[in-house]
Amino acid sequence: MSVAIPDLTEAPGYRLVRPIGTSGAAVVYVAMQRALERQVAVKIFDSMDVEAIARFEQLLRTNARLSHPHIVGVHQIGHTTNGQLFHSMPLLLSADPSLQNLRAKPLKVAALLRELLDVLGYAHRRGIVHGGIKPTNLLFDERGHARLADFGIARCAAELGRPHPDGADYLSPEQARGDAPGQRSDLYSIGVLAFQLLSGSLPFHGDDPVATGVAHVEQAIPRLPPMVSPWQDWIDTALAKYPEQRFQSAEAMADALTAIDGQQGKRRPVRAAPRGAPRTEPGAAPRVHVSRWLVAGAALIVTAAALAGWATWNHHRAPVVHVAAATTATPVNSAPASASAQAQSPPPVDASTASPLADRVDVLVTRADALRAGGHLFLPAGDNAVEDYLTALFLDPGNPAARAGIDGILAGVGHQLERAPLDRKQAQVLSLLKQGDLLAGHAGPAAVREWRARRTAFAKRVGDAVVGAARDHDPKRLATLKPLADAVPAIYPAGFDFAVAERTATIPTAGTQLRDRGGPLLVYVPATAKAPGFAIARVEVTRADYAVFAQATHRPASTCVEAYNPFSRLRHLTWQAPGFTQGGDHPVVCVSWEDAVAYAAWLSKTTGETYQLPSDSEWLRAAQGVPKGNACQLGNVDDVSRQSAMDNDRWSCNDGAAQTAPVGHYAPSGVGAYDMYGNVSEWLAGGSSRSREFRGLSWRDGSRQTPLGRKGSADSDVGYTNVGFRVVRVIDPAHPAPPLVSGH
C-alpha cells in the first residue's frame, strides 16, 4: 500500500497506525481508540469542501441509526485537526480474501447473498438505499458473516466527482444513464456480485467507466459457467435491464434462492449430533454417513457433466450432440427409442433410501449401464449415463465399472470426432470436443491416451483444411474454418501464420480464375500503383451467351454493317445472321455499343454483382503479355484463309479461320485472357453517342495493325461484323472479389 499517513492529520481520540484501503473519497486506517485501547478502523474523507463534508456527515448520522447484525456500525463521527470528516467503526476483515474463498462454492454464495439481502430488506423498509454495493463496501466479522458498510456514501462521492475506481462495474443500467438509484438498483448490484462469485469474472466490461456503464445498458446478460448454470434464471432476473423486470424486493430475491439452495428464508444453525450418535429420524432406517457438502459436490460435478458439452460460457448455448456408444456407429437421440428401451432402465435411484454407500454406487452404475445401452448418454438431464457414472465416481473414486462406462462413452465421442465435418455443424463439433475433454478428466489412462491422439489428429485435420483454403486463396472458407481453428486449436505446419494467410487470401494473384454464381469465367488483373485491380472475362461474349440475354430481355437486333462497305446495309445483317457461318462458341458480332452495355447491365442484375465494359486502360492492362511469334498462331487475323481481292495487307500464313473462330482457341495474354490478339475488336466503356471506341485486332486486320495499337470508333447504335465485346467485373471495398474457381 503506497498511501501514507498525512503528517498534519490527526483524528482526536485515535492513533492512526497504518492505511489499509482507499477509495475515490476516503482513506481507511487501522487505528487505536485511546480511551478504550481497542483496535478500530477509521475512515477519513479527503474532501475539504464545506458542502461535501456536510453531506457526508448527514449520511454517516443516518447510517449510525441503522441497527442490524449485518451492517457495519458507526462508533463515532468527528473531524481531524485539519478539518477533514472521519468516522470510526469496527475493524473487520477485508472482503477480497473472503470472496476468493467463496468462488466455485455455490451454496456458500447463496448463504452470503441471503445475509446481504436480509440487511438490504431492513434498510429498504426504512427508505434507505445503498446505491453503491461493491466488494470494498463488504466486510466480514471473525465468524465469517458479512457486514455491509457506507449506505449512500458511494453515490454521494460520485455526485461530488470522486467515484470509486471500481464503482462502474456494479452500477445498475439506470445509474449508468444518470438516474438516481432505487431499491432495485441495489438488487442489480447484488446480481453483479453474485455473477462474479459464481463465475470468477464480472458480467460486463469496458475500457473505462463510461464504456463499462454502456455495457451494463446495452450488452446481453452473459451465460454462467456450466457448473453453476442452475443459477442462470436467477441471474437473468437480477440483471434485467429495467427495474420493473427484476426482483421487486430483497425478500423476493432471497426467496428465489430457495430453488437453488433449498433453504427457506434465513439459514438456521444446524445442531451437531452427539459424538458417535447416528443421524436418523425416529422410525427411519440408518442413513449413509455422507456429508451434505459431499452430496452437494457430487451434484455440481454431475451438473457440469450434463452441461459442459453443450453450454458455451458467456456466449450462447450450442446445439446438443448426442454421441453414440463406442459400439454403435451413429448418434442416438436423447429420447427413448421404444418401449423396450425404457424397460431396460431400472427405476430411478432414490437418494433418501437407506442403502449403504457401496450399494448406492452399484445401483448408479447399473442404471448408467442401462441408460448407455439405450443411447441416453448426455440427455435427458437427470436421467443419463454420464451423470450417473460421474456421480458414482465421485462417491467411489476409481470404481472400475463406472470408469469402464466413461471409457466406452469417450471412445464413442472420439469415433464421432474422427468423422465430424469441418465446414458445417461446427457447434456440434465443439460440443464433441467439450464432452470428450470432460470425460477424459475421469477416464482411465488408456482411454485418455486414445482421446488425446484422436484430438491431435483432428487438430491437424483442421490445420490442413485451413492451409488448403489459404493455398486456394479462398477467403470464404477461411472465415468458415476460423472459429473451429481457434477453438480446437488447430495444428499447422511449421511456419504457417493464420493471420498472414487471412490477409493474403483476399488478394487473388494475377491470372487467378474467378466466377460469380451465374457469371462468366473471369481472370484477375492485379492493381497497379495508380489503378485498382479488376477481373475481366476470360473470353469474349459468345453467340450462345448473347442468345440467352436476348431471349430473356426480348432485345431486338441492331443494324449491322461491314467495315468500309456502305452497301452492306442493304443485306440486313444481324447478330443471328452476320453474313457468314458461326457456331455458338464464336464471339458474337453485329452488336452495337448500346447492346453491349445492356448485356452488362443484365448480367449485373442476374449475378447481383457489378459488370461493365472495360475502359481503354483496363483493356490494355488485360492484353499485356501476349507472347511473340507467328501471327496466325497467336490469333485469328487477316490471312490467306480470307480470300478477298481487295485485301493487300493480309498475313501470308493461315490461322485456319476465314472469319470468326471459336473463342479461347489461340494464345492468351499474360493474365490468361484469350483473343486479345485477333478474332474480333471489342467495345470499350465511355465515349459519346457518335464516337464509341473499340480496341484490338479482328479477323479483318492484317499486318499493318499492331495488337495493342489497333483502335477505332463508331456510332452507339450500329453493329459491325468484326466487333464484339467482353465484360469486366468491378472489385473494390464494396464489391469483394468473386469466389475462386475450384481446381485452379
HEC secondary structure over 113-167: HHHHHHHHHHHHHCCCCCCCCCHHHEEECCCCCEEECCCCHHHHHHHCCCCCCCH
- Mean pLDDT within 108-136: 87
Determine the Cα–Cα distance for residues 193 and 22; give it in Å rounded to an integer: 20
Provide the grid cell at 250. 430483497
Query: How high is the pLDDT of residue 457?
Result: 93
Q: Contact, 85 vs 145, CB < 8 A? A: no
φ/ψ of 21, rounded to 5, equals -175, 160
Q: Contact, 23 vs 164, CB < 8 A? A: yes
Query: How high is the pLDDT of residue 552?
Result: 96
- Mean pLDDT within 250-266: 79
pLDDT at 20 exceeding the cut of 50: yes
In SS3 terms, 443-485 reads as CCHHHHHHHHHHHHHHHHHHHHHHHHHHHCCCHHHHHHHHHHH
**Which pLDDT band, with edges at 50, 70 and 90, does 524 fall under?**
very high
- Mean pLDDT within 230-240: 93
Query: How high is the pLDDT of residue 22?
Result: 74
Preceding peptide of 614 cis, ω within 30°: no
Provide the grid cell at 33. 481508540
**Which pLDDT band, with edges at 50, 70 and 90, does 586 fall under?**
very high
- Mean pLDDT within 615-642: 91
Determine the Cα–Cα distance for residues 705 and 712; give it in Å rounded to an integer: 12
pLDDT at 582 exceeding the cut of 90: yes
pLDDT at 301 exceeding the cut of 60: no
- How many CB atoms neighbour CB 200 within 10 A? 11
φ/ψ of 620, rounded to 5, equals -65, -40
Determine the Cα–Cα distance for residues 727 and 600; give it in Å rounded to an integer: 7
- Mean pLDDT within 136-164: 69
Helix and strand numbers (H, E) in the chain are: 23, 19
Provide the grid cell at 484. 473451429
**Which pLDDT band, with edges at 50, 70 and 90, does 47 fall under?**
low
- Mean pLDDT within 620-632: 91
pLDDT at 11 exceeding the cut of 90: no
Cα-Cα end-to-end distance for the chain: 65
Residue from 104, 105, 124, 126 nearest 116 by CA: 124
- Mean pLDDT within 595-617: 96
Most confident listed range (52-66, 116-130, 142-156, 346-360): 116-130
Instruction: Among 56-60, 132-136, 304-308, 469-473, name the one with the lowest average pLDDT.
Output: 304-308
Task: Tell me the pLDDT tens digit for each residue of 92-115.
Answer: 766 554 465 566 678 888 888 999
Query: How high is the pLDDT of residue 23?
Result: 67
Query: How high is the pLDDT of residue 326?
Result: 34
- How many CB atoms neighbour CB 408 within 10 A? 20
- Mean pLDDT within 488-503: 83
Percent of the chain with pLDDT strictly greater than 70: 79
DSSP state at residue 168: G
Residue from 196, 21, 197, 169 nearest 101 by CA: 197
Query: How high is the pLDDT of residue 44?
Result: 87
Three-state SS at 89 = strand
Provide the grid cell at 665. 482457341
- Mean pLDDT within 152-168: 59
pLDDT at 609 exceeding the cut of 70: yes
Determine the Cα–Cα distance for residues 76 and 162; give it in Å rounded to an integer: 23
Residue type, 640: V
With 0-12 / 13-18 / 19 or more C-beta atoms within 10 angstroms meaning exposed / middle / buried, residue 83 is exposed
Most confident listed range (64-68, 625-629, 685-689): 685-689
Element (H, E) at 414: helix 400-418
- Mean pLDDT within 224-242: 89
Domains in the chain, please, with CATH?
14-91 (3.30.200.20), 94-261 (1.10.510.10), 292-443 (no CATH), 513-730 (3.90.1580.10)
Query: How high is the pLDDT of residue 675?
Result: 94
Signed CA dihedral, 351, 356, 360, 363: sign only: negative
DSSP string computed for 218-286: HSPPPPPPGGGGGGHHHHHHHT-SSGGGS-SSHHHHHHHTHHHH---SSPPPPPPPPTT-----TTPPP
Instruction: Among 118-132, 305-319, 622-636, name the one with the lowest average pLDDT.
Output: 305-319
pLDDT at 738 exceeding the cut of 70: yes
pLDDT at 28 exceeding the cut of 60: yes
Provide the grid cell at 4. 501514507
- Mean pLDDT within 167-193: 88
pLDDT averaged over the chain? 79
- Mean pLDDT within 588-611: 97
- Find how far residue 244's CA is from the centre of its chain: 31
Task: Tell me the pLDDT tens digit for each residue of 60-74.
Answer: 777 677 778 888 878
Determine the Cα–Cα distance for residues 83 and 606; give it in Å rounded to an integer: 81
Q: Which residues contact 413 (CB under 8 A, 6 or more apart)?
A: 323, 432, 435, 436, 439, 451
**How, if at all, do strands 26-33 and 711-714 pair?**
unpaired
Residue from 736, 706, 533, 738 nearest 635 by CA: 706
Percent of the chain with pLDDT strictly greater than 90: 35
- Mean pLDDT within 432-457: 91
DSSP state at residue 571: G
Q: Which residues pair with 79 in a beta bridge?
A: 85
- Mean pLDDT within 246-260: 91
216 vs 501, residue with greater confidence: 216
595 vs 43, residue with greater confidence: 595
- Find how far residue 504's CA is from the centre of its chain: 22
Residue type, 345: S
Instruction: Among 313-322, 473-482, 574-583, name the one with the lowest average pLDDT.
Output: 313-322
DSSP state at residue 74: -
Residue from 171, 298, 316 nearest 229 by CA: 316
Residue from 52, 57, 53, 46 nearest 23 by CA: 46
- How many CB atoms neighbour CB 552 within 10 A? 11
Three-state SS at 542 = strand
Three-state SS at 106 = helix
- Mean pLDDT within 309-332: 34
Query: How high is the pLDDT of residue 714?
Result: 95
pLDDT at 154 exceeding the cut of 70: no
Query: How high is the pLDDT of residue 579?
Result: 94
DSSP state at residue 317: B
Provide the grid cell at 638. 487477316
With 0-12 / 13-18 / 19 or more C-beta atoms within 10 angstroms meaning exposed / middle / buried, residue 572 is exposed
Query: How high is the pLDDT of residue 303?
Result: 42
**Which pLDDT band, with edges at 50, 70 and 90, does 346 fall under?**
very low
**Which pLDDT band, with edges at 50, 70 and 90, does 723 fall under?**
very high
Determine the Cα–Cα distance for residues 315 and 24; give it in Å rounded to an integer: 33
